Each structure stands twice: as C-alpha cells, then as structure tokens.
Structure 1
C-alpha cells in the first residue's frame, strides 16, 4: 500500500515521456507514386514518423487515406486510394502524428501500371524487357545507366517521360534516349521547357521491332536518392496547349501543340476557381500524359492572333482589357496586336510564356500610332517573362508587339499578353521558422503557437484584417489589424485542453479592415525540395493552403511578464519570460521573440536553463525604431526527443521617443588636469523622481561618477578626474546612459555622442637655455 502512489507516479511519468515525443520528419516515400484507380501501400520513412502516426493531409483532391499504422519509430505504412479520375502528376502531402506534422513531400500519380526496375539492366545488349505501357520505378547510382526494352509497331507513338528531379529528393538531372535495335538513336532529350530538368521523348516508330530506352544522369552522377519514375507508352505528349488559358468556369477550345502525331483540338472547361499551378493532361484512346500542361484561368477575353500580323498595319485587332494570344512560329517572327485606349487609363501588360512552360524568352513592347516605342520590357524581377504598367498618354490607337529575345521561334513558342486594369490584391505567406523550410502550425493541447504572416500589398492601402480559415476543432485564433504602413503580422492560435488531435489544410486571407473595397488574397507557400549551389532553388512545391494541427500537450507553457514601462528609441530593456514546467521535465527551453519590430533587436540565444523557470531577453532599439504599441509574442522550443514548440500570449511593448535630448560640447584638457564636462538637457516627456545619468566611453585614465537629474534639470555636470597617464587623443565615442524609473521598471536611454580631447602638458623651459638667451641678445646689440 505504501508503494502504490510511487508506482502510479512512475507509470504516469513514463506515459508523459512517451507522449512528449517531438514533431516527425518525412524523408521520402516508397514507392513515390502509383497508378490512378489503384490502392497503393506506401512506406513513409523519416525521423519519429512511426511514433503514433494518425493521418495524411493531401493538398490536392483525388487521393484518400485508407489506413496508416506504425512499422517502427522511423517508419509507417499507409494505404492510399487513388481515384480513377485523379489528375496525373504531383500531389503534395504531410503526415500527421500525435506529436506533429511532417515537412511536405510529394506523391506522384500516373495513368500506367507500375513496375520496378530490375538489376542488372545496365548493358544495352541485355536490357530489362517491359510492357509497352508501364511506369518504371528505379534508381540511378554513380555511373549507372539503365536500359529497358519495348516492342513497337511502325507508326506507333513512342512516348517516354521521366520524373527525376521533380520527385524532390536530390539534384538529379536525368537524360533519356530511345534507340532502335541496331543502337541507332531515334530520339533523345535532356532538359525540356515543359518539365525543366526532367525530360521526355515523343516520336513515331520508324519501323516495327525492338526499341531500347536508355536512362542515365546527364553527367553520369547519381546516388541512392537519384530515384526516378519512367513512363513508357503510347500516350500523347504535347509540349503546349494554345492559347495557354481562358476564363474560369468557361469552356475553352485548346489546341495541343508539339505532339508528333499531329495537332489536336479539344474543348475543356477551366475550374472556378482554378487551383494554384493548374494543369490539364492531354489524353486519347492510347492513354493520358503523365504530366499536365499549364493553363491560366483569368477573367479576360482571349484575342487570338490572325496571321499575318508581323507589321504594324497587319496587327490583329482587339479590345482591352483582354489577353492577346499567339505563337512565334519561326525564327525572326514577331506578332502585333492593336487596341484603342483613352488618355489616363492605366493598364498592366503581362507577357505570359515561361509561366506556361513555353520556350519563348519574350520581349514586350508598346507602340503608339506613329510606331514609336513608348514602353518596353524583357524580364521582370529576374523572371524571364516581361511586365510593365503604363498610363495611356492620349486617346488613340496603340500596338502591342511580341518577339523572342534571340529572335528564335518554333510552333510551340506560344504566349499570352494579358492586359488588365490594376486590381487590389494582397500576396500572403507564412514566414519561415527554419530557413528553406515551409512553416507548419502545430498547437499543443491546452497551449499556444504563433506564426508570422507576410502581407505584401498590390494597389491597396489601409489596415488589413488577416485570418486563417477552417481550423481544427477546439482551436481559436487571434490577430490584430495589420497597420497600413507595415507588412508583417503575428497570428496566435490556442488549443483547448480537450481539443481532439486533428489537422487541416486551411486558407489564409486578408481584407481591408474598413471593408471599403474587395481585395484578392493570394496565399502561396514555397517548399524548397531541391536546392543548388548557393542555395538557389532548383525545384519547389507551391501550396495555396497552410497546414495546422493539434498535437499532444507540451511539457511546459511560457508567458511574458508584460512590461509596465516602455522602451525608448536608442534604448534598451530586458523582457522577462516565465516558464511553467510539467513534473518530470527539466530541459532547457530556448526562448526568442517571434519577430522584431522595425528598429528593435532582440537576443536570439536566450534560454531558460535546467532548474530555472525564467529568463530575460535583452532588447535594444535604434534611434529610428518605429514608435508605437507593439503586440509581441515569445516562442519557445525544447528538445524532447526532437523539437517541441509553444508560444506566449500577446503582450504589449510600448516603444516611445526618448524622454530627453542632450547637447554634448567638445571638451579639452591635459593629462593630470581634471575638468568638468557639462551637457545641456532638453526634455520632451516629463518623468517623476530622479533619473540616473552615467557618462560612458571615457578613455583609460579618466574617471567620473554617476549623476542624478530631474525633469526640471537643464544640464548635467560630470567632474572628470584625468590621470597623468590618461590616453592622449580625440575621444569621440562618449555617450550617456540615462535610467528613468517608471512604474518600478527602468527606462534606459542611450544618448550621444560627445568628444573629449586630452593633450600632453607643455614641457617646462630648460633653465640653461633661458639664461643664455639674454646674453646672446646683449651681444647682438653691441
């Protein structure tokens, strides 16, 4: 009976330890894709992913989770059910466990049966035979080359497309070649405008017989992470879809360009609204393309070019707003479109080519009726597509001109010039918590977490209300209006103690606080899947929803002791943070401000050490720090078998101008000669009681004592004791630290600067020389 409480406590501690595991990581999936219409058993691999896996959040429709279970601490098994009409291509996902959300990875859906590469298949003479219509899953290691063989009839379309870099595991640049049985090259490809570093070949079989497909890394590099999905079939593989976009929710007639079987016209209906990065896959009786072709959904009428339209007088006529659509079909080609506009009208001219994966490196010009160029653009902020905004100078006719930068052209060099009126919009993103990693929002039960939202305005001014959409049950959010002159906003989420473990993908939107006009919210979150040298992004995933989850309780909560006194410009302050630890947890808790207001700097290396329950975060401000009331939050992180994160509630930090100013005169003295340093004062904010003033930055050998001033003082005088060996020179780094006590807390000012000059004393005259001087003078007079 005596031991039972102890045993119960021990068991509780074990349970707590097990439940305090940190967030999981997802390194990769095996397999990395599957055929639509199938059930696929996927092994999820990564740190802590097998510790109570519960769900998979899919960013795109068409895949459902049938079940998920633990294999071991770092592996879980999931069964994905892929809809028969699931869009082929890339599908982002995160795994949710009881303790967190993983980073984003991708699962790839194809239309063909799946097979696995079988080694050895690295000799042309003994390739791996596969059916003509499969997706091969394999890996290319260093200096490895994989060969696969199919049988095709003359005139059949041989389509080969590889997903390598796009699997997002490593910088894998695959190259594909199709040979006939005599090893004569039929087709080859390395990179492609449509698939970037990945490539495809699409060719009509010149004869019946055996064809061998070679896959390698373009420089014969590779490793265990250089995995691929090689789609081999008769499916259509166009390079582009003209006119590259249309109106959302409306039927659109598109022409598939670049397929060796010939152009094909198809009518599709664009979704409303269209998802970020919307693509559509070409299909026919032989199958569907593994990767879709981008189409824009924009509420503008299409104006299709009418050839010839190379000369001014041949310009295709249209109205604006509208989208001028064409193809630079051959070298030295150029297209022109004309429209009428009135003086003072403002339009955005946006050339869309690379965005819809066209090879065109477009140059965009605007000419007046005389043929004079009045606006032009090539690139746009480092992007190869051109853009400019233009105000019409007078009523009349204007001509839009498009050509390739290198005067190249081919039948797939399509483009759109979208001419629209400026529209109010806000571009939103969650700021990265860890560099190069998309932020997820994980809220422990009975606790809090906060994130920073970046909001960049386009043609909109005023305060904004920013909010997340659907949240897991038991989660509430709080955010203050975003000031009109600022673009960063903390958002705080709280989970009730009884909030169920759950996760959602949610929207992030903004609206004007006064609701004076509608604005478009454009949320995009970048996941850096593959980075090149100097951390240049090589392959990214872009999501239009944020991931939020409720997880098991954290072993601590933290709070800010809200300051009772402000921090001043050119000042400093310590922000006190207090932790409440759960029994059994005594680890270090790193604490930092979620964000620094403009002109304020906070120490990033502070922690609440083991055995302690509080810490002070030093804050300093520049002279131009933004003076206003700031809602600040402190975030905390502890290592409990990995990172566990929480945050405080909001606290108000008042940042105000200095209470007084000082005028520092230059002062000079000699070694060994004391002097008073008098500094004139001017007050801007009265304060109660005495304030302590310290003169800082004195050179070695000079000392003084702190002084006191009041709100009525007009100067402060420091008696300087100057030693005989005080450092000689001009000392220009003197400043004062003024400490005012307000509501029992220090308000520390740093005010300066002043100058103290210390000279060497003049040497006394030599008596012998003094005696000789009169004698010499007398001799001269005689």
Structure 2
C-alpha cells in the first residue's frame, strides 16, 4: 500500500482505544539486517516494547512492502518484507508503529544476491567456509575474530567483494577485507574507500583459475556481538564514480562508469523529477548489479563537459552560466580550466562537488580574470574537502575557473562537478531534538495533542514565514504561528480527534514567505544519529527528507495552561500554573515543562504534578534582554505509563513587556549603629493602577528595613535603614528592588537594580592621658 507522502505499509490489527497498554517502543536491531531484492524476507524486529501491539512499518524509500507483522513477545515482533525486484540496493530507513507510539529509525539493507549466514568455525585460513561466487554473507566479528570464505573463479573473471559494516549503524565497527590466493598471497585488500567511507570493497580480475579466500575482520582486531556485517561476494560490476555525476530532474543522462577493473562502461539513467536526498545509480551488467549505487546530483543545471586539452587559459572549456562544469583530474599534476562570461556586480555561487559524488579528489578552486590575475581561491568549505567561492564579478568580461587536486594527485576516478549558480532564497528546516542526539518523532494520542519545535534558518533573505506540515494521518490537524523575520524557531501543535484511526504517516515541513513575493527553496532534513565517536563526533547518520507522525491510543491524562492575565516583564518573574486532568485509575507523576523558552526567558525544568495533585507551577524568569512581545507558548507533559508517553497543552499567550519603571540608586555610606534613609529615584514608563509593593533586597547582615508602596505618580521611594552596631562592614553592591504591581489580580514582579551601600566601622574615640603619664610639654 503506497501513500502519497513517503512509502508506508500497514497490517491492520485490533486497536484498544480505551486503555494504554504500552508506550515509547524502541527498535534496537533487525535479524536479518537485509535481504535480496525480488524476494520476501522474514525479519525479527527487536527492541523494548516493539512487540506490544505492532501494527505498521514506515519505509522511507520505495521498493519494500510489509506483508504481515505479528507479536513474538513484548520486545520482539515478526514481520515479512516483500522487496521489489527493482528496489534500489543499499540503505532503507524504517520505523515501526505500535498502537501506542513510533520507534526510533533503524535501517534495512537491500542486496542483489542470495543471502546466506556465516557458519562457524571459519576462523582458520586453511578451513574457510565455502560460499558461491554470488552471495551475501550475514555474519558477526567478535573480539580478535577473523572470518574466512572460499570461492572459485576462472581466470579473467571479475571478483567483487564489498562489506557493509559501519553502514549497518549498530556500533563503531571498522571492517577490513582482503582477497587472497591459495598460497595466501594478497590479490587485493581494502579498509576504507571514498565510495563507502569506513567500509571497503575489492574488485579485481582473477589472475588464474582456482580458489580465492576472502578475509573479513575488524581493522584493529576488535569486535563484539554488535559488530555485524553483510559481505557481498560476486562477479558484479564495481565502478567507483559516475561521470558527469548528475543532471537535470527528469533528464536521461549518459554516464561513464569509472573505476571498474574491466574498464570504463557507459550506461544511461533517467533522473527523477523530484530528487530524493540521496539518489543513486547501481551499475548492472550480465554478471549482476553493484551492491551499492553511485550517488548522482539531480539539479536544474546544464552539464558542460570538459574538452581536453583545457589546462591553458586560452584553451579553457567554455560555457554559459549557470552551469555544471564537469571534468576529471586525469593524472598527477593535471589542471582543468573553464571560461565563462559575467557582468559587473553579478554574484555567483561556485561549488565543487567531488566528495559528495564519492570522488577521491580534494579540490582547490581558483577564479581568475581572462588575463590570468587571480581573484579568489578556496580549498575546503566549512571543514568539508569540497571547495566553495562566492564570486562577485568586478567588471564586465570573461573569467576562468581553475580546478586542481590539493596534493597534485589525479587518476581516472578523480571526477568532479563545478556547479555555478545564482544565490537562491532558501530555508533549512529541521524538527528540533527533544534531547540531544535523539531524533524527534511525533506521536499524537487520540483525542489529545502533541507539540514539536521547528527551526527554519533562512539563507539569502529575511522576512516573515508561514511554516506548515504536509500530509498527516487521518483525523490529525496542526496549528502554528507566523515565524517573524527576526526569529528562527516556532512551536507546532498537532491534534487528533478521538475518532482518528491508529495510523502513521511520513510527512515533510515547508516554509514560504507570508507575502508570497518570491519562491523559497525548502530544504527539510532530519538527521538520525546512529553512531557517534569520542566527544560525540558524528561517525554515521541517516538523513531523511521526511519526518514521522503517528496517532496512538489515548492517554489517561491531559494538561492545560492557566493563561496569564498580566505580563511578565524584563528582569521579572512569574509562576505559570498548569492543571492536569487525570482519568480514573491513573495518579502517576506528570513531568511538565515549557516546550521552548522565548529569547531571554528561563523556565524551571524539574517541575511535576505529583501523585494526589492536579496542579503545579512552573517558575519563569526573564533577563533584561528578553524580547518584549506576545509569545505563543505550550507546556508539554510526560508520564510513565509502562513507558514514556507525552502530550501537550493548547497554545496560550504569554506577554513579555518592558519594565514599568526604572530606578536610580544612590551610593551611600554610614557607620555601624547609625541608621539612615535610603532614597531611590523612580522614572515611570508604563502607568499602573493602585499601589505597588517595593522591597529592598540584598541588604547585608545587620541592616533591616520595611517594604514600601509607590503609585504611578511616585518619583521616589525612601527606605529607612536600621543599621545595627554589629552590621557587616564593607561595600555592599548587590542592592536591588523587587517591585510587585498587581494587574488583573495577578502580580507583575520586577527586579530592578542595583545600588551600593557602604558600611564603615566607627572611628575610635579620642585617646585621653592616663594617670601617671606626663602631659604634653611637661618635663619628666
């Protein structure tokens, strides 16, 4: 069953609509982790609560359909995947939906060859596991483990070996592979490869007929039960890069497949009209299809292919902008040049695309006048090896772009695209993580609500935006606010009717200018952190252009905000009241917090509605730079109902306002035991009704005073300070006032300061002559 947004298949079960039996399911791994296209595969889904009423699998890519899913036990479910014969080989993101939630994203891997399992013992070179030259071996590398497999090949046949290890996303597993002959001489070996990053491949022509042993291990001979692998062994083609690396949407492109041991091949591919985030082409011939496709760019630019020789200024390949200039640094020291015309003041973005299409090229890009004068240059771009220049033409005329390798290396696979485009209005959109490194999914309870934060970063423009979700499950709607031009975060509230069917949906998030004056390129991307290294460095992640939304069983509680009737001022404080409605049978603790804090506001994160209670207050404080405006706020709630469940309040308005008044504090001094009046000047900004209470705070030990009252007409407030004989001596610089104005029967609390009070010790009394001591001037 295919939905219009994403590719989702479900097996309907009986849903319990009145009780929550489970929550927050998790998917830890799959057994097996992949399957051959054109087959049906029985997959065990393993993870906390994933077996409690499993109902649906959400597939992020086309080509896989769910035939059935059923419970094994609370933490396991059995599913049958039908993989289409034309399914793209490689990585496919999935989530499992149960009656009460969505799992995290994991990956299922599609291969092109029959699947088998590793069989121990196979750790000795002399006793390898025999396999057919045309198999995918599913295995595991434990500590100091080495797995050996033997195949038979004829002289001149291609032997291709590729491993999926790190890319399975289970653990920090760095595989190494080798092809050895019967005398244990190495025919080929691979640790990392530009095409596969920390996974590797070998593809060679068999030098003679006979047996070949494939060695599989971890680079440093480490491993554990999570160090699983999928080892593809066959005769399939294994080019490493496709030239020219892409084309226009919907266009049929002729590709040169570079890097295969049998030589360069040509293939044609029709590019999709709507480009996915990671479009790949799997090379295929009479010996099979490659285990991993070659990445291609799908961009609306004409390709301009280099014409050699083009290393001199006068022989530079010509093209008209915008364009994608495509070339190969074919040998060490090679230099490619392209010539184009530009008018004075024109701005062009110049991007080298090499590593993105898995080329080994580490490019340096330079821009020159036609005379040869260098105008700009770039090596890396924001830590990435591909180069970027924003070029503004200083005058009408012709210009030349140079492309070289940073180490003056080159070869038949050192392909690249130099994409030159006008800057374009774009917005980068993400669903914010609830907690760091945890991808956000949206689960809306029947008859309830869920809330998420969206970040929308504008590129090349400003202005107000309307942000919206795409397709949602039946019975689900969303509500949001306009994103003002000076801010990049906004809350989104999703609601499900009580009758909404239990279902899941992949969707996207889009943004457009409120006045629709110009089109905006939307770049919604969601990162799932699968493997992190030391210091939480991203090692392997899955990226998707869709988020996941599901309807789940109703919750045994709901919450609402008591909307404030008075503002929260800058450098102020307020208690935000939250009320819970608990259904019969539930009296657990409900943790409540603000979905987000507007700029300059801080909210307490440890508040809960305790058992036996139905209310709580969340303390809010602001600093002097808090943004004064009306903010739409949401409170989210979590509880343990056999796992974490979440809901949200409706929107409420919180007004942040400038302080109603300012105060001018004098610097005064006194002595221990000497009281004084401390007068503070007042400048009124916002009139208020009635009397306001003013408290002087921060007095040192031994100094006391009483609260005072002011009105909107007051220009001064005077505090009588009682200074004890033992009051603390010193400069006391932390005096401030807490001013409480009552508005609509609610306190508007200001913190206004600061002032200084110096307390000195009294001077000692004059010394008198003691008896028997000669007076001054008296002879002894």
Same fold (TM over 0.5): yes
User: Which aligned pairs between 1:30-49 and structure 2 lie closer than 5 A?
Assistant: 30-49=31-50
> Are the aligned partners of 1:20 and 1:555 in contact in 2 as well (CA < 8 Å)?
no
1:433 aligns with 2:441: no
Aligned to 1:3: none
CA distance in 1, matches of 2:651, 2:715: 39
| C-alpha distance in 1 between matches for 2:597 and 2:26 | 29
Query: Equivalents in 1 of 2:566, 2:289: separation in Å?
Result: 67
Q: 1:318 to 1:467 in 2, by over 3 A?
A: same
Alpha-carbon separation, structure 1, partners of 2:666 and 2:771? 39
The answer as to whether partners of 2:18 and 2:553 remain within 8 angstroms in 1 is: no
2:5 corresponds to: none
- Counterpart position of 2:9: none
* Corresponding residue number in structure 1 for 2:730: 729
Equivalent positions of 1:265-284 (< 5 A) are: 265-284=266-285
Counterpart of 1:126?
A: 127
Pairwise CA distance, 1:666? 0.5
Question: What residue in structure 1 maps to residue 297 of structure 2?
Answer: 296
- Post-superposition Cα deviations, 1:644-700, rounded to whole Å, max 9, x if no partner, equal 000000000000100000011101111111111111000110000111111111111
Query: Would you say the 8 A contact 2:246–2:296 is kept in 1?
Result: yes
**Aligned ranges 1:628-643 → 2 under 5 Å:** 628-643=629-644
Query: Which deviations, in whole Å up to 9, do the C-alpha atoms of 1:112-166 show, x marking residues without a partner?
Result: 0000000000000000000010000000000000000000000100000000000
Q: 2:175, 2:199 within 8 Å by CA — same for their partners in 1?
A: yes
What secondary structure is seen at the aligned counterpart in 2 of 1:768? Answer: coil
Please name the residue that 2:404 is paired with.
403
Is the contact made by 2:20 and 2:641 (CA closer than 8 Å) also made in structure 1?
no
Given the superposition, is the C-alpha separation of residues 97 and 631 from structure 1 closer, same or farther in structure 2, using an over 3 Å criterion?
same
C-alpha displacement of 1:313: 2.3
Partner-residue secondary structure (3-state), 1:166: helix
Contact 1:20–1:553 under 8 Å retained in 2: no
Q: Which residue in the other structure is 1:207 paired with?
A: 208
| Cα pair 1:53 1:98 within 8 Å, conserved | yes
Aligned-residue offset at 1:390: 2.0
Match of 2:221 in 1: 220
Correspondence for 1:191:
192
- Taking the aligned partners of 2:200 and 2:334, their CA distance within structure 1 comes to 27
Cα distance change on mapping 1:771 and 1:338 into 2, 3 Å: farther
Taking the aligned partners of 1:400 and 1:491, their CA distance within structure 2 comes to 45
1:133-212 alignment, distance < 5 Å? 133-212=134-213
Match of 2:423 in 1: 422
Contact 1:20 1:554 in 2 (8 A): no
Tell me the SS of whatever aligns to 1:767. coil
Equivalent pairs counted in the alignment come to 765
SS at match of 1:23: coil
Could you say which residue in structure 2 is the equivalent of 1:513?
514
Where 2:769 maps in the other structure, the secondary structure is helix
| Distance in 1 between residues matched to 2:598 and 2:559, nearest whole Å | 21
Residue number in structure 1 paired with 2:673: 672
Judge conservation of contact 1:661–1:751 (CA < 8 Å) in 2.
Answer: yes
For 1:17 and 1:28, the matched residues in 2 are separated by: 30
Verify the 8 A CA contact 1:159 1:200 in the aligned structure 2: yes
Q: How far does residue 195 in structure 1 lie from its aligned partner after superposition?
A: 0.3
Residues of 1 paired with 2:421 and 2:68: CA distance? Answer: 47
Report the TM-score when normalising by structure 2: 0.97
Distance 1:380 1:569 in 2: 40
**Which secondary structure does the structure 2 equivalent of 1:775 belong to?**
coil
Q: 30-39 vs 453-462, which deviates more?
A: 453-462
Q: How does 1:654-673 map to 2 (within 5 A)?
A: 654-673=655-674
Which deviations, in whole Å up to 9, do the C-alpha atoms of 1:57-80 show, x marking residues without a partner? Answer: 000000000000000000000000
Q: Name whichever of 705-714 and 309-318 sits farther off.
A: 309-318
> Deviation above 4 Å: which 4+ runs of structure 1?
15-18, 769-774
Between the aligned partners of 1:642 and 1:17, the Cα distance in structure 2 is 17
Does the 8 Å contact 2:632/2:652 carry over to 1? yes
1:174-573 to structure 2, matched below 5 A, reads: 174-573=175-574
- The residue number in structure 1 matching 2:716 is 715
Q: CA deviation at 1:404?
A: 1.7
Q: Which residue of 1 aligns with 2:610?
A: 609
User: Shift of the alpha carbon at 1:372?
Assistant: 2.1
In the alignment, the residues of structure 1 paired with residue 684 and residue 371 of structure 2 have an alpha-carbon distance, to the nearest angstrom, of 65
> Quick one: structure 1 residues 769 and 192, their matched pair in 2 at CA, closer, same or farther if it must change by over 3 Å?
farther
Q: Distance in 2 between matches of 1:368 and 1:274?
A: 35
DSSP-derived class of the 1:734 partner: strand
- 1: CA distance, partners of 2:330 / 2:675: 87
Cα deviations by residue, 1:261-293 (Å, 9 ceiling, x for unpaired):
000111211111111111111111111111111
Is the 8 Å Cα contact of residues 269 and 281 (structure 2) preserved in structure 1? no
Aligned equivalent of 2:84? 83
Which residue in the other structure is 2:575 paired with?
Answer: 574
| Correspondence list, 1:675-694, <5 A | 675-694=676-695
| Cα distance in 2, alignment partners of residues 422 and 512 from structure 1 | 17
Cα deviations across residues 4-25 of structure 1 (Å, max 9, x unaligned)? Answer: xxxxxxxxxxx89962421200
Q: Distance in 1 between matches of 2:646 and 2:397?
A: 61
- Range 204-213 or range 460-469, more displaced: 460-469
Please give the secondary structure, in 2, of the residue aligned with 1:290. coil
Q: Shift of the alpha carbon at 1:382?
A: 1.8
* Deviation of the 1:317 alpha carbon: 1.1
Where does residue 8 of structure 1 map in the other structure? none
- For structure 1, which segment, 317-326 or 95-104, has the greater mean C-alpha deviation from structure 2 after superposition? 317-326
Hey, what's the Cα distance between the residues in 1 that align with 2:771 and 2:620?
A: 63
CA deviations 1:186-244 (Å, max 9, x no partner) are 00000011100100000000000000000000000000000000000000011100111
Match of 2:53 in 1: 52
Q: Which residue of 2 aligns with 1:5?
A: none
Secondary structure of the 2:125 match is: coil
Paired residue secondary structure (2:420): strand
> Which residue is equivalent to 1:7?
none
2-structure distance, mates of 1:606, 1:388: 49
Deviation at 1:460, TM superposition (A): 2.5
Q: What is residue 10 of structure 2 aligned with on the other side?
A: none
CA displacement, residues 69-110 of structure 1 (integer Å, 9 cap, x when unaligned): 000000000000000000000000000000000000000001
Residue 314 of structure 2 aligns to a residue whose secondary structure is: helix
- 5 Å-filtered alignment, 1:9-28, equals 19-28=20-29
In the alignment, structure 2 segments of 5+ residues that lack a partner are 1-15
Bigger drift between 763-772 and 61-70 goes to 763-772
Deviation at 1:557, TM superposition (A): 0.3
